[in-house]
Structures are given as C-alpha cells and as structure tokens.
C-alpha cells in the first residue's frame, strides 16, 4: 500500500509545473530532437530535491542499484524501455552478461540484481551473471530472502571476448561502477559491446564534469520554454589538490564555499526566500553517499576534527579524495509518514520507468539522506508520470511526477553529453567496449 506523501507546495514550484504542463508538447519535441543527437545511457537514476521554490538533481548514477525498490506496477514500463535500450544497442542481440558489484551478503543489492536480470530476460535476452570476485571459481548460488536465488559464475576470458563457460554473450552490461578501477579482464574487449562504456566508471568520471554538462543543457532548455534556469539547476564550484588528512586545500575550500554561499544569498534575497543557504561538499568521484558534508559557513571546512577528516578522506573501495565539488544545497520539504524524503527517478534508455522515495527518520530537510538508516518507499502515484493530466491542478500527483521526470531526463541528457565528451582517443581506449558503432549510427540518424 502506498505511503502518505506530503509534498512541498509553494507558488514558485506550482508556477514551474504550470510551465512544464503548458509547454509539454514543446518539451517532448525538444527531448525527441535531443535524443536524435545524443545516445541515452542504457540506464540511470537521479536523486532530486524539491525545496518548493527549486526542483533540482543532486546526483546522477549511471550504475543504478535500486530496481528492487520500484513499485511492481512499473515493471511493464521497465520491460518496454529495456527493449528499446537493447534495440538501440544491438537489435539482433540474443544474450547478455550482467556483471554486478562484488557483494555477496548485501541482500538489498542482490534483490536489485535479481529484478534487473528479470527485466532484461523479459526483453528476450538470455541473461547470466558473471562475478569479478576471485573466490568465485565455480557456479555459486546465492539465496535471496524470498526463497529465490542468483547464480554467480566465474568469468572466462578468450582473447578479446569475455563470457562464462560455454556462454559467449553479445553484450556485457555493468552494474558495477568501477570505483576501484578497471579490472584487467574488462580491458581490450574489442569484439563486444560493453555498457555503460568503461570511461563512465568512477575511476574516470567526475561529478563536476556532469554538473557542467547539465548547466549547459538546462540553459538551452530554459531558453526554449522561458523559465529561470536557477529553478532547476544547482550552482557549483570545484577544488582540487585536496588532502583532508593533511589538511591540504583548506584555503580553496574556504574561498569557494564562501563565494558560492554569497551567490545563493543574493539569489534568495532577490526571490524573497527566507531559508538559510547551505552547500554540499562532495568527493568529485564516488557514490553510496560517501565523502559528503553539508556546510552553512565557510569556517566549517577549516580545522575539521579527526572523525570529520576520516569521513571525507576516502570513498568507496577506500579511494582517497583529492578533488571535491561544492554544490548548492537544495532543501527537501517532502516527507513520507512524517519522515524527510527525496524522490529518486529511474530511467532506461530515454524513458522514465518509475521511482521511489529515499526516506530518513533521523535526518533534516537540509541534510544528506543517502546515509545509514535510510529507507526506500515506492512512489505513491497511480501512473509512472509520463501522462500528465491538464485538467487537474499543476501539483496534482501525475503532474508533479511529470515535473520530476522532466528534470530527471535533463540530467540523463547531460550524462549522455558527458559520456560523449569523455570518449577515449581511438587506439588508446582503457578497455574498448565503447559501442562506437552505436554512437555513430545514432548521430547519423
């Protein structure tokens, strides 16, 4: 049963939703033209924050790990979108190797893998799971809480192809974000389509690069429909040469936090917003909500105590943080059953396929909710939000989710541009598998 959702309701967001509804034909046409120019990622998820006066993405994940949190009502839409993604990848594909994260005890993540594999099988693909874990030397079943199981199998490399014993797949789908780098077994796979491409992993990707691409996309989109781009885009700054353990880079952090907070205060005064501005200081690469701190004054990033330095110094896979993005903080005034919440929107190909709320009972509206203690609740909507109802109020549930979908797709488009701009030089790729033929055919369309 759907949880009780209390969204933020204030005039600026209502006005933004009116703009989206009033220009929905133009918006959909604009997106359609963009997808003729840019290839959408196979899948992705976007964390949104709704402050009432601002609706903006705060994180874009190219290796989404929460398909199990989607309401089952969205499953048919997931399958249709996955079919489109497979057709774009290779219409004649028959088999796919799915490589997950190296978790064997995280039941939440394993349920995600099971749901994702199930969706892909319903597209007509034979799907099997290959593990990067060295201890997986034979087919190994992992039991799930519902009594079903996943079969992890050892990878088999034969020259420039990767598969399993007696399984030579057409394509390889990564649900592993490569935070620790690219394993040798994934490098040089010139004969198979590897998706997402290796350079989309966190060993190369940077949040600041995505933010810059998103800023450009939003500027063009906002000019098209006549809105203030600030309403849907968080400002940001970048600092490199950071070493939290040695307290290197504190001056850059102090200056950039101070500048960004001053810019936000000016905008708040201009719009009559009374909230206290804040920024999120994040590791420029990484996921799982690690390496994040919320800051309301530049003095807070000077002289961090040992616990704070340890928290910010490393991210997933124990990687050291040397670069940070300072991102405009966006409050969330949405709550689920009285707890602070933020929407997470899931996409496959260029379609919104559903979402859920990340909920945290111990966090406030200006804090990071992607933290231990969080829960997930399916979005409480009767439709996936791609069919807005103009006869209802702008903030009616199908219309609000449509607004979420518009902003999420802008982030997905920015990710597409980001990946294209990061394409390795031919002959110097970090492992092949960039599906260049797919990119070229889409650009020529």
d(CA 128, CA 125): 10
Closest by CA position to 105, among listed 64, 69, 72, 140? 140
The residue with tokens 């600041």 is: 208
pLDDT at 298 over 70: yes
> Within 13 Å and on the Cβ side, how many CA atoms surround 220?
13
Question: What contacts 372, CB < 8 A, 6 or more positions away?
Answer: none
pLDDT at site 317: 61
Round to whole Å and give the CA distance between 173 and 200. 12
As a whole number of angstroms, the distance between CA 25 and CA 36 comes to 17
Q: How much is the pLDDT for 94?
A: 92
Compute the distance between CA of residue 338 and CA of residue 34 in angstroms, rounded to an integer: 39
Which is more confidently placed, 399 or 403? 403
- Whether residue 161 is predicted with pLDDT greater than 50 in this model: the reply is yes
Percent of the chain with pLDDT over 70: 89
Q: Whose structure tokens read 């120019």?
A: 37
- Rounded to the nearest 5°, which phi and psi values hold at 206? -135, 140
The pLDDT of 78-93, averaged and rounded, is 91
pLDDT at 2 over 50: no
Cis peptide before 196 (omega within 30 of 0): yes
Q: How far apart are CA 160 and CA 65, in angstroms?
A: 28
Q: Higher-confidence residue: 4 or 73?
A: 73
The verdict on pTM exceeding 0.85 is: yes
Asked if 279 and 326 touch (Cβ cutoff 8 Å), the reply is: yes
pLDDT digits (tens, 9 = 90+) for 172-205: 999 999 988 899 999 999 888 899 999 999 989 9
The residues with which 414 forms a beta bridge, in sequence order, are none
Above 50 in pLDDT, residue 43? yes
Per-residue pLDDT at 344 exceeds 70: yes
User: pLDDT by residue (tens digit) across 413-441?
Assistant: 999 999 999 987 554 445 444 453 343 33
- CA gap 104, 293 in Å, rounded: 29
- Cα separation, 44 vs 346, whole angstroms: 6
Strand blocks (E) in 219-309? 236-239, 279-283, 292-295
Mean pLDDT score, 52-71? 95
125-134, 199-208, 281-290, 337-346: which range is least confident on average?
Answer: 281-290
More confidently predicted of 95 and 313: 95
* Stretch among 154-163, 331-340, 385-394 having the lowest mean pLDDT: 385-394
Least confidently predicted of 70-79, 155-164, 216-225, 299-308 = 299-308
């Amino acid at each position: 049963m759907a949880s009780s959702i209390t969204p933020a309701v204030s005039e600026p967001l209502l006005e933004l939703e009116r703009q989206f509804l009033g220009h929905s034909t133009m918006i959909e046409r604009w997106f359609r033209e963009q997808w003729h120019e840019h290839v959408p990622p196979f899948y992705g998820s976007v964390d949104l924050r709704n402050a009432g006066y601002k609706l903006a993405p705060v994180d874009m994940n190219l290796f989404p790990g929460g398909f199990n949190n989607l309401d089952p009502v969205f499953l048919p839409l997931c399958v249709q979108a996955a079919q489109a993604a497979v057709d774009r990848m290779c219409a004649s594909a028959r088999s796919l190797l799915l490589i997950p994260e190296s978790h064997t005890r995280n039941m939440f993540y394993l349920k995600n893998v099971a749901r994702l594999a199930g969706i892909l099988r319903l597209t007509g693909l034979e799907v099997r799971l290959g593990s990067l874990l060295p201890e997986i030397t034979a087919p190994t079943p992992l039991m799930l809480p519902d009594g079903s199981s996943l079969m992890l199998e050892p990878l088999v490399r034969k020259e420039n192809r990767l598969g399993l014993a007696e399984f030579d797949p057409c394509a390889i789908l990564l649900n592993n974000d490569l935070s620790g780098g690219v394993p040798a077994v994934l490098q040089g796979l010139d004969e198979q389509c590897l998706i997402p491409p290796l350079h989309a992993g966190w060993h190369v990707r940077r949040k600041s690069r995505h933010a810059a691409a998103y800023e450009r996309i939003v500027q063009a989109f906002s000019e098209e429909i006549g809105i203030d781009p600030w309403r849907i885009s968080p400002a940001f700054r970048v600092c490199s040469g950071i070493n939290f353990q040695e307290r290197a880079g504190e001056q850059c952090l102090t200056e950039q936090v101070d500048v960004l907070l001053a810019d936000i205060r000016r905008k708040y005064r201009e719009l009559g917003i009374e909230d206290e501005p804040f920024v999120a200081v994040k590791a420029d690469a990484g996921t799982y909500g690690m390496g994040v701190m919320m800051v309301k004054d530049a003095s807070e990033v000077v002289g961090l105590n040992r616990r704070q330095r340890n928290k910010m110094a490393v991210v997933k896979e124990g990687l050291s943080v040397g670069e940070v993005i300072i991102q405009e903080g966006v409050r969330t005034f949405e709550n689920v059953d009285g707890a602070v919440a933020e929407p997470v929107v899931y996409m496959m190909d260029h379609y919104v396929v559903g979402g859920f709320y990340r909920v945290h009972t111990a966090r406030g509206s200006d804090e990071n909710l992607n933290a231990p203690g969080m829960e997930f609740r399916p979005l409480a909507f009767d439709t996936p939000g791609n069919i807005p109802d103009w006869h209802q109020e702008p903030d009616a549930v199908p219309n609000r989710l449509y607004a979420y979908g518009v902003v999420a797709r802008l982030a997905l488009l920015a990710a597409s541009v980001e990946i294209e701009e990061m394409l390795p030089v031919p002959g110097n790729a970090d492992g092949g598998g960039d599906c260049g033929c797919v990119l070229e055919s889409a650009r020529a369309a």
